[in-house]
Structure 1
Amino acid sequence: MHALWVWAHPHASSLNGRLREVGLDALGAAGWSVDEIDLYRMRFNPVLADQGGADVRRHQELLGAADLLVVQFPLWWYSMPAILKGWIDRVFESGFAFDVPDPETGKPLKYGKGGLAGKRALTVVTAGDRAATLGPRGISGHIEDVLWPLLHGTFWYTGMDPLRPHLITNADTVDAEAMARIEADLTVRLAGVMTEPRIDYRPMAEEHYDHTIRLHDSVAPGEDGLSAHRQG
């Protein structure tokens, strides 16, 4: 199996830097081959001005060859760093990741289908706040809702199988004991990354959505939030 590890943190000596080392070692020990994109160190240009470019084509080649995409970043203002958002803006181009036509109907494939179908996508995310704030009933919202634009609107939209975010909280106060636990948890998670169930988002199919891409009234009746778009 082959993985692409994309990470965005300005300091290689940070907690994120250590997580990247642990993750790459864990995948290597499990027999994976891995390509790495270190956005800050390579000074990736995140500004989408024109389509394409040699750097974009190279990153598309790396992504196209991967069975697993790991995207690692600190949670900043409930989102990813701008350099990572720019990487997605530039690399996930029309005709490559989306706007790929269905060979039978000619309509664009999306939401469970698309240019990146068959791949899995895992986010490794650090946050300074406590775990409860990013869980059920937490003031920040559940982490899967906070990352909805990435998990559902990017990964699932382009056909990838989004996996539950691997969230590390209290990132500013990690001691040696906590670090050992964090490293062990990430190693175990990566060992089973290809067999764990994906987030059970609904495919864009007539049994779920009408012609306006709105859920049928009979689907998840009484639910208006993001959870209605999950089958579980």
Structure 2
Amino acid sequence: MRVFVINAGVKRPDGSGGWLNAEMTRMAKEAFERRKIESIITDLNEKWDLEKEVEKVLGSDLLLVQTPIWAMSTPWQYTKWQDIVLTDPRVCGTDGRTRKDPNKLYGTGGFLTKKRYWISTTWNAPEDAVCEPGQFFDARGLEGVLMPLHKQFQYMGIKPLAPSFAIFDVYKNPTVESDLLRWKSTLEVVTGKLLIGQTQ
């Protein structure tokens, strides 16, 4: 059993930021290894190699994306990683259609069907802005706003292990201490799911 954690909590050009996602990554690694689940990490503050990243994807049972939400999406460093690594033919497959059968459903060609993924996010936006009618994201909810990330994994054949996690309002109204306690308890639940899956 192996978990691949991608820490997209990159520092801003002025050197600030990144600490919360780094701490959540550290806590995740600790929680997995406490349950004897191996974890490997790619920190997008550092250089990475395509061959090694593909090996990490292929050799892992769960991919955990730990990312802030910047400019309504992930930082460009994660987008670059996703565009290069997760579209590599060795992990991505095809869209499911062929020239002989172009009417087959798009997005059905993924072959990593035994793997799972999980998304954990940090936000400047408050939860109301994401979930409530009349607010900025038009009540799309967390999973709706994260749909492009979900669809990339679905395209690859990978299914979610658990609902996405979020820490909201980290700048204007932070409650980081309680949020990290919530993260810790959520990690316990998710590691339990992994262990159950391992024995089935």
Indicate the TM-score class for this superposition, using the shorter chain for normalisation. Answer: 0.7 to 0.9
| Equivalent residue, structure 1, for 2:190 | 190
Question: Aligned equivalents of 1:180 and 1:114: distance in 2?
Answer: 34
| Equivalent residue, structure 2, for 1:99 | 94
1:133 aligns with 2:137: no
Helix, strand or coil at the partner of 1:37: strand
Q: Contact 2:21/2:67 (CA < 8 Å) preserved in 1?
A: yes
Question: Aligned equivalents of 1:17 and 1:139: distance in 2?
Answer: 28
| Equivalent residue, structure 2, for 1:47 | none
Kindly tell me: are residues 56 and 100 of structure 1, through their superposed partners in 2, closer, same or farther at Cα, counting changes over 3 Å? farther
| Equivalent residue, structure 2, for 1:229 | none
Which protein has the bigger helix share?
2
> Which amino acid is the alignment partner of residue 47 of structure 2?
R
Question: Aligned equivalents of 1:100 and 1:65: distance in 2?
Answer: 22
1:116 aligns with 2:121: no
Deviating 4+ runs (over 4 angstroms): 105-110
Instruction: Give the alignment's TM-score, normalised by structure 2.
Output: 0.78
Q: Contact 1:98/1:110 (CA < 8 Å) preserved in 2?
A: no
Kindly tell me: are residues 118 and 125 of structure 1, through their superposed partners in 2, closer, same or farther at Cα, counting changes over 3 Å? same
Structure 2 residue ranges without an equivalent (≥5)? 12-16
| Equivalent residue, structure 2, for 1:160 | 158
Task: Provide the alpha-carbon RMSD of the alignment.
Answer: 2.9
> Which amino acid is the alignment partner of residue 43 of structure 1?
K
Instruction: Give the alignment's TM-score, normalised by structure 1.
Output: 0.68
2:77 corresponds, among 56, 78, 83, to: 83
| Equivalent residue, structure 1, for 2:146 | 147
Offset, 1:99: 1.6
Question: Aligned equivalents of 1:93 and 1:176: distance in 2?
Answer: 34
1:61 corresponds, among 28, 43, 55, to: 55
Helix, strand or coil at the partner of 1:18: helix
Task: String of CA shifts for 1:61-93, please: whole Å, max 9, x gaps.
Answer: 110011000011101111111110111111123
Larger Rg: 1
Task: String of CA shifts for 1:94-145, please: whole Å, max 9, x gaps.
Answer: 522122879xx99899646513221111011000121122125342231211
Alignment length (residue pairs): 182
